[in-house]
Chains A and B, each alone.
Chain A
């Protein structure tokens, strides 16, 4: 029993890292980023190559930096130029980006499954409540929770965090107060993309790398951010943990319908509250 709850937490932690990026980008740019899952996959594959050449610990630092650069570029030459266009246009641009990244990944790394071995420092297991728990998975939970805590602290207590919150409530008024919302957005999209890359590197040792890994996770991420309320970080954290649990426990108790549960949950919540559990806008 404990092992299932634990695995739910691991997946929830991974979703927290994914979805905080997705929610931040939506908050600042009002963009539903369909390419977010592909960016996660790209991060995982780059992490694979870096880890193969050097070590996993270098990959976990280098990949988010590479992805952040990519994210800043995406905002500067993508979202910023399209900010006056209707939302569907931008969604479709990210959809186009998804195809480009998938093609890139298949061309560079091929279509067969790849694995990244668990770093030796964490390749042991711990006995908790009679279950053998791999230490690496505990590490994933720790990273997920630290991302959640540090993002919340950053948004709450720093000056830039204040600007980010203001800008996601009302970009026009915020820029009238002298805040450079374009720079702010570039920063936030960079951060969101870096988080997608981080999620990819972290997932690599316990999920195998394949070209289909992006579409599995993007749907779950959408479910999370929509349930949580688009653009709301707190909502996304709660929804991510809830979805992780639904996945893990559903597979045990209701194996027949477990794959449908996330969607049923999402449909029920959207019909009840179209803006999600913590969202004030649609």
Chain B
């Protein structure tokens, strides 16, 4: 994507969010869209790790839930301002993830997924059992003060404004990530993803960039967690449970990771479909199981990959054999 197109699509997306927020009158629809957008940011974080690092995290709910808890706990102590609490949650978790990342990214394949699963479950069990600090299994409410970044909290949590906020955050994160990943950092991480050994041979430090990427994905997820706690005013241990991490991974795969916005798109589709199904059928779990299997089997690149391919077919004549495919086949076999 060229600079002009990137800027143009970002601006268009921002305008779309503002227009949608003011055009939609139903608070119910707006609140659904807000939840979908927050999940989309969460999925963006998980998808970033998969797309750029090839690593499957089964424990990203750790960063989503903990971000909410950090804000909630810091606010109950009343010693720090709310802005500082939010910054501490996001930056603190990123730093934590970077240090954890230096260790866990060395663990390859399935073992990485299981290790992240273990880390997530430890956080879940700790939060659901330590009654004093986190309210145990009941969760705790987040006591937002009356003003937030100089604005009235009551105004921010209005359905239209919180949707605009979440949407703007999503669009800006997509823009930022697109810019960062186009540069040297993006190329380095892709090189490591495709062949860690070769990347090391040409003199690239292969641990630090992966840990940094792990931290970036944690930061995006933590932002989603803070937004969720602002939206609901509540955090519970369920936001740390591995089934949430698994669900998000499903959304990522349904959306596809070929393009950056794929996971976010998958989350939105997933959430809205679940809501529509939830009203009509009790069997949403089976419906999702079947939908997931169908998408994984018949559309390996996910919905966004499907859209991307259809779009490309219409405007670009496809070469007979793509060089990229040849390279991938060779490197996979070799």
A interface residue numbers (CB < 8 A to B): 32, 34, 81-82, 85, 87-89, 91-93, 95-100, 102-104, 106-107, 215, 219, 222-223, 226, 230, 259-260, 263-264, 266-267, 270-271, 274-276, 282
Contact = CB atoms under 8 A, between A and B. Distances in A.
Contacts of B114: 222-223, 226, 266, 270
Contact of A259 (B107, B129, B292, B293): B129
A267 B119 contact: yes
Contacts of B145: none
A116 B115 CA distance: 35
A271 B297 contact: no
B118 A266 contact: yes
A97 B296 CA distance: 12
A100 B286 contact: yes
Nearest to A226: B114
In the A-B complex, the 7 residue pairs with the smallest Cβ-Cβ separation, listed nearest first, are A99-B289, A103-B286, A96-B292, A100-B289, A103-B285, A263-B118, A96-B289
Contacts of B291: 96
Interface stretch (B83-91, B160-168, B243-251, B317-325): B243-251
Contact of B107 (A107, A222, A274): A274
Interface in B189-207: none
Contacts of A96: 288-293, 296
A41 B255 CA distance: 30
Contacts of A270: 107, 111, 114-115, 118
Interface in B303-327: none
Given A270-B115, A282-B108, A99 B300 contact: no
A219 B297 contact: no
A99 B103 contact: no
B283 interface: yes
A100 B115 contact: no
A82 B286 contact: no
A92 B255 CA distance: 13
B123 to A, nearest CB: 10
Interface in B40-60: 50, 56
A282 B110 CA distance: 7
A107 B283 contact: yes
A267 B118 contact: yes
A223 B289 contact: no
A210 to B, nearest CB: 15
Given A92-B292, A222-B117, A223-B118, A260 B107 contact: no
Nearest to A106: B285
B213 to A, nearest CB: 17
Given A259-B129, A260-B125, A270-B115, A99 B110 contact: no
Interface residues of B, number: 40
B263 to A, nearest CB: 13
Nearest to A266: B118
B297 A93 contact: yes
Contacts of A226: 110-111, 114
A239 to B, nearest CB: 13
B109 interface: yes
Q: Give the dominant DSSP class at B's interface.
A: helix
B158 interface: no
A282 B292 contact: no
B289 A89 contact: no
B111 A97 contact: no
Contacts of B50: 88
A213 B219 CA distance: 33
Contact of A274 (B108, B125, B243): B108
B126 A100 contact: no
8 contacts: A82-B297, A89-B297, A103-B283, A103-B286, A107-B283, A222-B117, A263-B118, A267-B119
B297 to A, nearest CB: 7
A271 B243 CA distance: 24
Most chain B CB within a 10 A radius of its CB, from A85, A93, A263: A263
Nearest to B106: A274
A92 B250 contact: yes
Most chain A CB within a 10 A radius of its CB, from B56, B109, B115, B293: B293
Interface in B267-293: 282-283, 285-286, 288-293
A262 to B, nearest CB: 8
Contact of B110 (A87, A92, A102): A87
A252 B56 CA distance: 35
Contacts of A274: 106-108, 111
A281 to B, nearest CB: 9
B253 interface: yes
B242 interface: yes
Contact of B117 (A92, A104, A107, A219): A219
A264 B286 contact: no
